[in-house]
Structure 1
Amino acid sequence: MRIRFWGWLVLVALGLNLRPILTSISPLLDDIRLSTSMSFQGAALLTTLPVVCIGLVALCGSWIEARLGEGRGIALGLLCIFLACLARGFIADGNVLLATALLGGVGVALIQVLVPGMVKRQFVGCVALAMGVYSASLMSGGGLAALLSPHMAQAFGHWQAGLWVWLIPALLAALLWFRMPWHRPQALAQRVSFKAFVGNRRAWLLAIYFGFCNWGFMTMVAWLPAYYQQLGWSQQASGALLAWMTIFQVLAALSMPVLAHRIKDRRPLLGISLGAQVIGYAGLLWMPLAASAAWVGLVGFGLGACFVLCLLLSLDHLHDPRAAGQLVAFVQGFGFLINAIAPSMGGWLRELSGSFYSTWLVMLVSLILMLLLTLRFSPASYARINHPGQPSGAS
């Protein structure tokens, strides 16, 4: 029981550290741009680069697990996040900020690659619930950073204070991690050939689906505060709106796995989740001030649900925990590379058109296409991914 309690606590602590490196930036973006003379597209790289790192490192998931193992890999990830936040507190330079985005992104990626397989091994019988708790913690960390960063910056009189403070959760998570037996030397996983997934059309379909179902999160993180500041809101109010979105992400991440545990077919829940996002983006596009809390809440609920349901959908395809974890790493790898397009695309469209309306329109159209793609993921189709090392299945 004691090990199980500490296991849940560690899972929460790890999740809390995976989004502040991204969401602490957006409410302070105007101050950062003025201080560092960065353009909109340059500033977008502060959220784009970590996501690119997450994608590229995830594609090396099998190699990382084989060489580092869970213990050293997750410890290294926490160290990278700690150092990135520390550097942000001392140096106010655009190029250094971009370097910290890369370093923090590597740290986040290492943890995200290793946690799903760990969950499937360590939380036998409650994988859906554990993934829900992990996802909810991940989203909570993002919301807390968006809410508290502008207040910390205001209290200390400089935007850097809103960024460096997030080294504290990384330090606490590392202390908790080293209390657990999971960090000790273990039998390293057998490396699975990257080609086993590259040659499988269902693996690619899952990666594309994960990417476009969830890429709205990066758009919201990068540009939602800036969008409402453009409409006359303050930094604190726009940051609070991003935190409000996170509340609904967390509610969805906790509630959807409970329902998913009883329903083998993920399609109805995915349809509800994508539909919520469609309505939310339509509201942001056409009536942003009429019911802003409702639109952002719907987007948040849809994003929170889609993230955890897409992970579960990928884990469902393979029974072996090691193989399933490496499939999720592949899916997240290419999925996050798709996600990385969103902030830069939003910045480019903002500079081109002078507003964010075209950004919300792109989100809306892509989600409607994903709703149609959802129909292909019937439980009977899971066999279209074979165990790595076997011939890839047809789609």
Structure 2
Amino acid sequence: MTAARSAARGLLLAAVLLYALNLRAPITALAPVVDDVRADLGLSAAGVGLLTGIPVLCFAVATPFMAVLLGRLGTGRVVAASLVTVLAGTLLRSADGFGTALVGTVLIGVAITAGNVAVPVVIGRDFPGHVPRVTGLYTAALNGGSVLTTTLTAPLAEVVGWRWALASWGLLAVVALVVWQRAYPFSRAEPVPVVTGTKAPDVWRRPVTWFLAVAFAGQAFGYYAVSAWLPSVLHDNLGLERAASGGAAALFQLFGMVGGIAVPIALGRRAPVAAVAAAIAVGWAALPIGLLLAPQWWPVWCTFAGVAQGGNFAVIFTVIASSAGSQAAARRMSATVQSLGYGCAALGPSVLGAVHASSGGWTAPLLVVLGAVLTMGAATGLGLRSMRREG
């Protein structure tokens, strides 16, 4: 019986991690071939940035709808539907012109939003007593999917073209769907209660909520902007080939896996949150500063920033959990922080593309990233101070 339970738990974990591979990979797959897409579809830099920014906007606006859908259909069915939608959006994005690509991109964004909402519910429900560890593995898998697409999309595009290269990542959704259906069959219904109300929640009147929202906005803006344009920065400034620049940028995603696992471990061992947050801010800032002052050391800067971006989620949501006061308040605070943060993050790729087009180089865009990271660090520090004052 114990062996059977262990096997069932292992299948559940495999389903969650394979699903997580699909929750960032379709977005970051575009970055290594962004110039090919721009040339083929006749887009401006800001226009092609929309194809990366729109999914993040969906994170902000579709979250309430997904919460209701989870409550009515259960996580198993919603996740299965989201994987089918990821596959459809991935194929549609590569099928025709800009309009079709835009529709496919919206489908991808809505589908991934379902995962953003569903996976924390699944982890809390199905892995009691192991939430920090499984959350760390989940964060690592998110970055793992980004590593795969950032590293391999450009080499694939050289062989089969950018359309087939992007479409091929739909195979990840197919594999995840097969495993998910074994772990969570359609016949299994597990409705999720959704807390609703007409009055503004108390967390909206707490300064810590808004400081964390600003911090998350800076983090997410920087992450999606860098994910979209780092291969182009390395290609233009250092002369790396397209395939090589995509692989180099994968360091940023790869070490996000390290941060996603290491930071929860550090916090679990009572490392001071303020010290961890300060170290993360320094590591994040190393990327834009380093690429401006010593671009030849890009592996170092990508490593530091990768660990920082992977670990910063743990810091922000640890503060939410420790300061909310109740599970209901934590859900409301988390929803507020994510909605506002992702709303700002959706602008990242387009803003960086527009600044690059207007300035003709990458100095100004990197300064924009630095500004976002410094804002993140300052807001996190103010949030922690506000939390201590309330305590």
Would the TM-score normalized by the shorter structure come out above 0.5?
yes
Q: Cα distance, 1:165 vs. partner?
A: 0.9
CA distance in 2, matches of 1:309, 1:182: 34
Distance in 2 (CA, whole Å) between partners of 1:164 and 1:60 is 27
Residue 83 (structure 1) aligned to one of 83, 88, 107: 88
- Candidates 352, 357, 361, aligned match of 1:355: 361
**1:42-99 residue CA offsets vs partner (Å, 9 max, x unmatched):** 100010111101111124454233233322221221111010112234x231111111
Alignment partners' CA distance in 1, 2:332 and 2:233: 37
- The match for 1:13 is 18
**Cα deviations by residue, 1:234-284 (Å, 9 ceiling, x for unpaired):** 110110012111121111111111111122752221211111011222101
CA distance in 2, matches of 1:49, 1:106: 10
Distance 1:137 1:278, change over 3 A: same
Q: Does 1:37 align with 2:28?
A: no
Shift of residue 134 of structure 1?
Answer: 0.6
Counterpart Cα distance in 2 of 1:197 and 1:171: 42
Give, in whole Å, the separation in 2 of the partners of 1:367 and 1:75: 35
8 A Cα contact 1:62 1:326, kept in partner: no
Select which of 339, 350, 354 maps to 1:333. Answer: 339
The answer on 1:304 being equivalent to 2:304 is no
User: Cα deviations across residues 355-391 of structure 1 (Å, max 9, x unaligned)?
Assistant: 121121122233223323323444993896xxxxxxx
Work out whether residues 203 and 332 of structure 2, in 8 Å CA contact, stay in contact via their aligned partners in 1. Answer: no
Q: Look up the match of 1:257.
A: 264
Pairwise CA distance, 1:17: 0.3
Q: Give the 3-state SS of the residue equivalent to 1:191 in structure 2.
A: coil
Q: Distance in 2 between matches of 1:144 and 1:124?
A: 30
1:109 maps onto 2:116 in alignment: no
Write the distance in 2 (CA, Å) between the matches of 1:265 and 1:377: 14
* Residue in structure 2 matching 1:172, options 158, 171, 175: 175
State the alpha-carbon separation in 1 of the partners of residues 250 and 285 from structure 2.
20
Question: Are the aligned partners of 2:73 and 2:189 in contact in 1 as well (CA < 8 Å)?
Answer: no
Seen in structure 2, the aligned counterparts of structure 1 residues 334 and 67 have a Cα distance that, compared at 3 Å, is: farther
Q: Does structure 1 residue 136 correspond to structure 2 residue 140? A: yes
Are residues 1:272 and 2:279 paired? yes
1:162 to 147, 151, 165: 165
Find the counterpart in structure 2 of residue 118 from structure 1.
122
Residues 135 and 308 in structure 1, CA contact (< 8 A), matched pair in contact too: no
Give the secondary-structure state (helix, strand or coil) at the position aligned to 2:347: helix
Q: 1:373 aligns with which of 375, 379, 385?
A: 379
Report the CA distance between 1:285 and its aligned residue. 1.9
How many angstroms does 1:321 deviate by?
Answer: 5.4
2:289 matches 1:282:
yes
Distance 2:49 2:302 in 1: 21
> Structure 1 residues 3 and 376 mapped into 2: Cα distance closer, same or farther (>3 Å)?
farther
Match of 2:51 in 1: 46
SS of equivalent to 1:38: coil
Question: Which structure's residues are more often helix, by fraction?
Answer: 2
Write out aligned runs for 1:181-330 (5 A). Answer: 181=184, 184-193=188-197, 195-196=200-201, 199-201=204-206, 202-231=208-237, 232-263=239-270, 265-288=272-295, 290-318=296-324, 324-325=330-331, 327-330=333-336
Q: CA deviation at 1:108?
A: 0.5
CA distance in 2, matches of 1:116, 1:197: 22
**What is the CA distance between 1:32 and its match in structure 2?**
1.0
**Distance of 2:109 and 2:242 partners within structure 1:** 25
2:338 aligns to what SS in structure 1?
helix
| 8 Å Cα contact 2:285/2:370 also seen in 1 | yes
CA distance in 2, matches of 1:15, 1:321: 24
CA distance in 2, matches of 1:376, 1:125: 31
- For normalisation by structure 2, the TM-score amounts to 0.90
d(CA) in 2 for partners of 1:151, 1:197: 51
Q: Which deviates further from its counterpart, 113-122 or 215-224?
A: 113-122
Identity of aligned residues (%): 26
Counterpart of 2:3 in structure 1 is none
For residues 320 and 370 of structure 1, what CA distance do their matches in structure 2 show? 25
The answer (yes or no) to whether the contact 1:66–1:189 under 8 Å persists in 2 is: yes
Going from structure 1 to structure 2, the CA distance change for 1:382 and 1:326 (only over 3 Å counts) comes to farther
What stretches of structure 1 of length at least 5 have no aligned partner? Answer: 385-394
Cα separation, 2, equivalents of 1:186 and 1:217: 33
Give the AA of the match of 1:224.
L
Superposition CA RMSD, Å: 2.4
Partner Cα distance (1:380, 1:207) in 2:
13
